[in-house]
Structure 1
Amino acid sequence: MTETNSAQTSGELAKTFEPSGIEAKWYAHWETNGLFRPERPDAAPYTIVNPPPNVTGSLHIGHALDNTLQDVVIRYERLRGKDALWVVGTDHAGIATQMVVERQMEARQDKRTNYTREQFVDKVWEWKHESGGTITGQLRRLGCSMDWSREQFTMDPHFTKAVVKVFVDLYNQGLIYRDKRLVNWDPKLKTAISDLEVETRETQGGFWHFKYPLADDVKRDDGLDYIEVATTRPETMLADMAVAVHPDDERYKSVIGKDILQPLTGRRFKVVADEHADPELGSGAVKITPGHDFNDFEVGKRAGIKAADMLNMFDAEAKVVQTADGLVPAEFIGMDRFDARKLVVERMKEAGFLIQHVTKDKEGNEVQHDAEPRTIQTPFGDRGGVVIEPWLTDQWYVDAETLAKAPMEAVRSGAIEIVPKTWEKTFFNWMENIQPWCVSRQLWWGHRIPAWYGSDGQCYVAETEEEAQAKAGAGVTLERDSDVLDTWFSSALWPFATLGWPDQDSPLLKKHYPNDLLVSGFDILFFWDARMAMQGLHFMKEVPWKKLYLHGLVRAADGAKMSKSKGNVVDPLGLIDKYGADALRFFMCAMESQGRDVKMDEKRVEGYRNFATKLWNAARFCQSNGITGSISIAAPAATSAVNKWIIGEVVETVAALDQAMADLRFDAAANTVYHFVWDQFCDWYIELIKGNFDAETKAVAGWVLDQILVMLHPFMPFVTEELWHALGTRDGELIVAAWPKPEASVDAAAKREVEWLIALVSNLRTAKNELGIAPGAKLDAYLPEPSAQTRSIIAANPAAIERLARLNGIRFEPAPAGAAMQVGAGDANIVVPLEGVIDIAAEKARLEKALATSQKEAKSLEGRLGNPSFVEKAKPEAVEKARADHAMHAAEAERLAAALQRLG
């Protein structure tokens, strides 16, 4: 080991555990010395790629959960000797980044259109170098042991090369094509966005009913010369191209195929039969605007209207433009869509084509309204924040249906294991119904689409303009497509493009693809995970990762989703400042139960800070008694029962921890190591060895403490690294130490002996507490007929029984007559006389009174919870509190009854 990366040497531990200085010191040391990916050329690979956070982002609580789980796995596999690679980088986040830069320009009374495209992109790069990547520093504060030496960005030259190649290859294979279809158009950002970027919100709107007259004096069988249509978006009637009725609706059979007149535009179009029209809904007739509604688009296609002929009445800002047939009245041209809505209703009303909605007031008088009030599920852009407009445009599409087949087969065959398995149904449901993926965005920041349009009317797709020109020929002038690719298109290549692809000879690619695991929030299963599976299987012919672990969301303490508007967002950096990164990380793992969301609980974070302090104090105690770090991976030789027992507990803990990690049960893993450290080691082993620090015990205690530090390191890397070095001069850092290999077994006799002692002490302490006896009071004890096994345990541990159980020995004879309590341990029922220790009658009276109170409270709450009216109508938090109070009183009644029983 060189001078610069030599391990820190031992020193006396401070009285108080203070995380901040420790965290800053060790993270810098690890990163500076390349310890996040030590040289292990011959080791088995283990690979994770980090979901690349937006370059505009900052660490939120969801990132903290996602990255903690990944770091736990990567540190665990590194300790197990793997060539553990955690790929790190950031995403260029097309829409988000362009918005950030444009907002900054607006603040300076500047705007994007004051610059050429190239000048604006240069400004974005400037912003990226100066302000982008805040989150990478924040991930370091969390303790993420990523390979920062290979940090990447989706707009890096090597990554851009991969993105361009994928587009060109898919185009040449017929899997990318240009088509005129409806898209979700964001009029604020002036770009198409995907279905997944649309948020549906409830808004208050109206449902307007109108008469559309039949042309040429045609009448329906019922004598009416019009068809009633209803809509929540009256403005779209300016581009109507049909009215649809159900083919079996008797009211309209006679007019199917007849012409109808749109009153405002005078446009003639047909009444068409289509099952989309529901006879039970409204009038059963539906106005069809195929250029501005997704359902209408499909009806229009079925009616024989080609996409190229569908009318468009909006520009990119959702302002009214003239349609191709020139029939939109001039007064509407240039109007905002919502202003146009009001004017359409006004003009239809003036012309007598509005059918008013009639209600009655309190006196029973009829009141007429222009529209029926409706709560409408309205689509909004998740970033632009305005109502999305379905808009007919030419865009680039990926044939997602074809690419989805291989990932579905991979999941079915087990080549990709989804954990928890319950997510498989959701995965298949989406993949089986997948729509063409629109991958073009009308932005300036991003990977520009490698397509050129020639003066000959042809489109040329190629990796470079030179190649496109060569395809087009010398006499053809080319103009490049102005669109960029959807950010998710490029990030779908993350598992292999970060490893050197398209260079198939890349050593990293050969060794680390496929990745072993992807940890992801379930909310990006379709945004990112499924698309990585598509691209990985298509281009690499192998799955991108063998396991996909989907975790839940971090919610507020009351279970509500966190949002800035609710004011319940938790800042993970604030928690780190307050309690340390180790405590926050441990909380995340302990609360991560497969398939369930994590409820934020600051008291639990504080509790895990106390856990770190408990370990710190135990290490200080060991250090002050001459216990140092071990020089052995295998367990030292042991002869005493307590030392044999604790070695066996290490053996069982390592096995349970390995099983939990194999199953990706982070909660089980955290709780396993927590209970071993707190209960077996700190509470019992240290108590049992006090006053007996012989050479064997020092060796065993030092070895066990080392095993704790290694097992706990993936969860709490900072405090464990600090303690590792404080306990002795080491020849290496804990981060690259060896995972425990005790090479020992559980000694059943020693386990039985120590667990008997623990049971005796625990049960005695509980009984004393129940009966109000001082903890330090020394009592007499009797065991008339001990088994041979119990007799030998008692004979071997007189000092521990006296010191910990506070007993004047245990006599093997009947107890004197009188009140006594009985305490169990193993097969023994030990009798402890109480005459002269407490006032029996007073104690009985106290317990009986307290028991009656608890039973009464429990019964009252039971009655309330048994009342369906309370459970169904009360606030959820009131019901939850009642349940918690009932459980508390029921448990207290049980405890008091047991105490009374002890008194006989």
Structure 2
Amino acid sequence: MLGDTAVAVHPEDERYKHLVGRLVKLPLTDRSIPVVADEHVDPEFGTGAVKVTPAHDPNDFEIGRRHDLPAIAVMDEHAVITAHGPFQGLDRLEARSAIVAALRAEGRIVAEKRPYTHSVGHCSRCRTTIEPRLSMQWWVKVGPLAKAAGDAVRDGKVKIHPQEMEKRYFDWVDNLHDWCISRQLWWGHRIPVWYGPNGEVVCVGPDDEAPTGEGWHQDTDVLDTWFSSGLWPFSTLGWPEQTESLAKFYPNSVLVTGYDILFFWVARMMMFGLYAMDGTPPFHTIALHGMVRDQFGKKMSKSFGNAVNPLDWMDKYGSDALRFTLARGANPGVDVPIGEDWVQGSRNFANKIWNATRFALMNGATVEGPLPDASKLSPTDRWILSRLNSVVAEVDAYYDDYQFAKLSDALFHFAWDEVFDWYVELSKTTFQAGGEPAEVSKRVLGEVLDVTLRLLHPVVPFVTETLWTTLTGGESVVIADWPAAVSVPGADAPGGFRDADAEREIETLQSVITEVRRFRADQGLQPGQRVPARLTLDGTALALHEPAVRQLLRLQPEGDSFSATATLPVAGVEVALDLSGVIDVAAERKRLAKDLAAAEKEQAQATAKLGNEAFLAKAPDHVVDKIRTRLAKAEDDIVRIKAQLDRLPEA
């Protein structure tokens, strides 16, 4: 109150219009202060009249500027009252109690105090209450700097990914106020200003010498950390000297950073780079990712108990696992939720890469010599090379668009599902048979691994480095060429080798194997349990693949006593199985009947709830969605179980 210089009311408040421009006596002082009209005042809050203290409140400071009010500082940097009078020398907390007592003694307390909750700033480290205080500081006039930073993006000199983040960038740079850059801290770059014995003030530039002599001293304040950080694109390269590194590496091509520091850091680097480097922005592209959060999407914080030390996970699961987890969640501008089970899954992927590649190497996979002629390739070889080129093009496009999550997911499924789970497994029968087809497949497998490991290297660097150098004998994958589309002798085509027919053929093969595996699992058969089977493949493209089908599905030749108890027609192929003595048909029917009853009960309950209008009106959306998911699952289970019952032989 001691620093009040006005009372503000809303200009449309009829209660006080007649008082605007009049003076009122400020209690406990010898001053009179004006009543001013300002739209910042909320006429519905309290009395609708608010005291204005420009030197000790940011909002009041703005009101003071609009009405040309004086700003009277009434406390020093130690929060001790400096205003002349009976309260001078008191701590701010002591002064508050003393002022209330003085007002009460004069009969100016007209109502008892009531609880009131409001926002009070506290130091993040020591939790001390912060008192706003007007003081002399160093500032940067950001108007022309901010305009240049905004124009660089508007003119297309700098691209922001994702593009929707441009609005946030413009909201900042188009509405910047002058920037206070001095801080009263121990650590940091000191303000480059010297004071002389006779009141001289000298600002020292990069080409100037600091004044020396008796009585000269440097300002004790330091630069805001974001000011120092904003110099990074050129100060790290030797600026202000015109170094070889500065000429070579400025501007940088792309900055990858979090959207949360788009203003604090990125905008400052843009302003400083354009100013110091003659209008040249510090980078051509700004790629923004989200913040890493916990598995439930909450901000990580020590106070929440959900903060993670990445070194702990690196020690437990490996650096590659953590890196791939982060990459797989890095959608542009979107936060990355991360849980330990996700890192464990990435560790499993790294292990899969290691084990499958080591198996391939032990079975002769090689990159020696050119790829075999297209006429010598099996349908499986043609399929994987065609898929490889599709993935190379897909991943290149994702890298160009900074879609790290999508490229990681594409590589995960290609490497694990197609290369390791299908091509390597399908090639085992070829390797066992030997001969020229085996040698061809070994060369194809080597090519596929070479390209796949190079594609994976940015997101799984350590495992791929070891495996690639072992496979190729190269010095390091870091300096290897980035993969291009693979060409096959005898089948040159723009964009590399493609074979749509082979892709369709292997997709059909996959559907047959997948369906029979699902049936085996539904019947309770163990993965390694062998079953007599008759395959009707005549007239289909899959006849060539019968050895692989039998090996992958653990199917024995039918034999003389074969009796088909279950027949599976899939994609034009018929697979007949003899389950006699393998499963207890009666027990299996009983189990499936029980499962069917449970699924039908779940379906009925979910349908009833979703048909209840009163329930739907009150239930939260996520609860309704959960019930819809339960209903869909129950319906799928019913279809699946009925199909299993139909396939069972009679007991």
- TM-score, normalised with respect to structure 1: 0.64
Amino acid corresponding to residue 701 of structure 1 in structure 2? L
Q: Residues 365-406 of structure 1, C-alpha deviation per residue, up to 9 Å, x if partnerless?
A: xxxxx3222221222344454333221111111112321112
Q: Which residue of 2 aligns with 1:374?
A: 116
C-alpha contact 1:635 1:743 (8 A) present in aligned 2: no
> Where does residue 822 of structure 1 map in the other structure?
568
- Counterpart position of 2:81: 320
> CA separation in 1, counterparts of 2:176 and 2:59?
16
2:510 aligned to 741, 753, 758, which one?
A: 758
Q: Deviations over 1:40-91 (max 9, x none)?
A: xxxxxxxxxxxxxxxxxxxxxxxxxxxxxxxxxxxxxxxxxxxxxxxxxxxx
Distance 1:336 1:634, change over 3 A: farther
1:272 and 1:596 map into 2 onto residues whose CA distance is 46
Summarize deviations over 1:785-804 as a string: whole Å, max 9, x none.
Answer: x8xxx825233223223322
Amino acid at match of 2:119: Q
Partner of 1:310: 71
- Residues 385 and 552 (structure 1), Cα distance of their counterparts in 2 relative to 1, 3 Å cut: farther
Q: Residue 301 of structure 1: which of 45, 59, 65 is its match?
A: 65
Matched, 1:770 2:518: no
Alignment partner of 2:183 out of 441, 449, 468: 441
Report the Cα distance in structure 1 between the residues aligned to 2:158 and 2:446, rounded to whole angstroms.
42
Query: Which position in structure 1 is the counterpart of 2:549?
Result: 801
Distance of 2:75 and 2:235 partners within structure 1: 39
Query: 2:259, 2:333 within 8 Å by CA — same for their partners in 1?
Result: no
Q: How do residues 60-99 of structure 1 correspond to structure 2 at under 5 angstroms?
A: none
* Match in the other structure for 2:420: 682
Deviations 1:554-578 (A, max 9, x none): 2122222211112111111110111
> How has the CA–CA distance of structure 1 residues 862 and 403 changed in structure 2, closer, same or farther, with 3 Å as cutoff?
farther
Tell me which amino acid in the other structure corresponds to 2:511: A
TM superposition shift of 1:665? 1.1
Change (3 A) 1:604 1:893: farther
Partner residue in 1 for 2:268: 531
Which residue, out of 843, 846, 858, partners 2:591? Answer: 846
Q: Is 1:724 aligned to 2:468, yes or no? A: yes
Aligned to 2:477: 734
Within-5 A mapping of 1:386-405: 386-405=128-147
Q: Percent identity?
A: 42
Residue deviations 1:76-120 (CA, integer Å, cap 9, x gap):
xxxxxxxxxxxxxxxxxxxxxxxxxxxxxxxxxxxxxxxxxxxxx
User: Offset at 1:738?
Assistant: 2.2
Structure 1: which 5+ residue stretches go unaligned?
1-236, 357-369
Matching residue of 1:579: 317
Partner residue of 2:411?
Answer: 673
Is the 2:469–2:475 Cα contact (8 Å) retained in structure 1?
no
**Matching residue of 2:36:** 272
**Preserved contact between residue 395 and residue 407 of structure 2 (Cα < 8 Å):** yes
> Hey, what does 2:251 align to over in structure 1?
514
Cα distance in 2, alignment partners of residues 592 and 520 from structure 1: 11
Q: 1:460 — aligned with what?
A: 202
User: Which amino acid in structure 2 is aligned with residue 749 of structure 1?
Assistant: D
Change (3 A) 1:760 1:583: same
- Give the corresponding residue for 2:23: 259
- Alignment CA distance shift 1:373-1:902 (3 Å): farther
CA distance in 2, matches of 1:653, 1:466: 57
Q: Tell me the distance in 2 between the aligned counterparts of 1:517 and 1:772.
A: 54
CA contact (8 A) 1:764 1:823 kept: no
- Is residue 335 of structure 1 aligned with residue 90 of structure 2? yes
Task: Report if aligned partners of 1:636, 1:703 keep a CA contact under 8 Å in 2.
Answer: no
Cα distance in 2 for residues equivalent to 1:635 and 1:302: 81
CA offset digits 1:579-631 (Å, max 9, x no partner)? 1111111111112223322222111211111112222221232233233x424
Report the secondary structure of 1:595's partner residue. coil
Matched letter for residue 74 of structure 2: M
**Aligned-partner Cα distance in 2 for 1:632–1:710:** 19
Query: Does the CA contact (< 8 Å) of 1:439 and 1:485 recur in 2?
Result: yes
Residue type matched to 1:702 in 2?
A: G
Is the CA contact 2:329–2:336 (under 8 Å) kept in the aligned structure 1? yes
The SS at the match of 2:241 is coil
In 2 relative to 1, CA 782–625 (structure 1 residues): closer, same or farther, beyond 3 Å?
closer
Deviation at 1:251, TM superposition (A): 1.9
Residue number in structure 2 paired with 1:791: 539
Task: State the alpha-carbon separation in 1 of the partners of residues 164 and 260 from structure 2.
Answer: 15
Aligned 8 A contact 2:429 2:548 in 1: no
| Secondary structure class of the residue paired with 1:758 | helix
How far does residue 480 in structure 1 lie from its aligned partner after superposition? 3.2
Number of the residue aligned with 2:451: 707
The answer to whether the 8 A contact 1:292-1:390 is kept is: yes
Query: Is 1:519–1:551's contact at 8 Å kept on the other side of the alignment?
Result: yes
Tell me the residue number matched to 2:602. Answer: 857
Note if contact 2:251-2:284 (Cα within 8 Å) is conserved in structure 1. yes
Change (3 A) 1:425 1:864: farther
C-alpha distance in 1 between matches for 2:573 and 2:442:
34
Is 1:636–1:700's contact at 8 Å kept on the other side of the alignment? Answer: no
State the Cα deviation string for residues 332-367 of structure 1 (Å, max 9, x = none): 3333323322332233233221232xxxxxxxxxxx
Report whether the alignment pairs 1:428 with 2:170.
Answer: yes
Contact 1:819 1:840 in 2 (8 A): no
* C-alpha distance in 1 between matches for 2:341 and 2:380: 34
Residue in structure 1 matched with residue 53 of structure 2 by the alignment: 289
Asked whether the equivalents of residues 243 and 270 of structure 1 are also in contact (C-alpha less than 8 Å), the reply is: yes
Q: Match of 2:8, SS?
A: strand
Give the AA of the match of 2:510. Answer: I
**TM-score normalised over the length of structure 2:** 0.87
Separation in 2, partners of 1:534, 1:554: 27
How far apart are 1:262 and its partner, in Å?
A: 1.9
Do structure 1's residue 412 and structure 2's residue 154 form an aligned pair? yes
Residue in structure 2 matched with residue 118 of structure 1 by the alignment: none
Q: What does residue 640 of structure 2 align with?
A: 895
Structure 1: distance between partners of 2:628 and 2:200: 71
Instruction: Name the residue aligned to 1:616.
Output: 354
Distance 1:493 1:508, change over 3 A: same
CA contact (8 A) 1:821 1:903 kept: no
Q: Note the alpha carbon deviations across 1:399-440, whole angstroms, 9 max, x for none.
A: 123211122122223322222222222222222221110011
Structure 1 residues 251 and 493: alpha-carbon distance in aligned structure 2, compared to 1, 3 A threshold:
same
Q: Residue 659 of structure 1 corresponds to which residue in structure 2? A: 397
Please tell me the root mean square deviation across aligned C-alpha atoms, in Å: 3.3
What whole-Å deviation, never above 9, does each CA across 1:441-473 have from its counterpart, x for those lacking one?
Answer: 123432222223445545332338975759xxx
Contact 1:450/1:464 (CA < 8 Å) preserved in 2? no
Partner Cα distance (2:371, 2:198) in 1: 77
Does the 8 A contact of 2:139 with 2:180 survive in 1?
A: yes
- Unmatched 5+ residue regions in structure 2? 432-437, 489-496
Deviation at 1:257, TM superposition (A): 2.5
Name the structure with the higher strand share.
1
Q: In structure 1, how many angstroms separate the alpha carbons of the residues matched to 2:245 and 2:349?
A: 40
CA 1:870–1:348 in 2, change beyond 3 Å: closer, same or farther? Answer: same
Cα distance in 2 for partners of 1:635, 1:399 equals: 67
Structure 1 pair 733–468 and aligned structure 2 pair: CA distance change class (3 A): closer
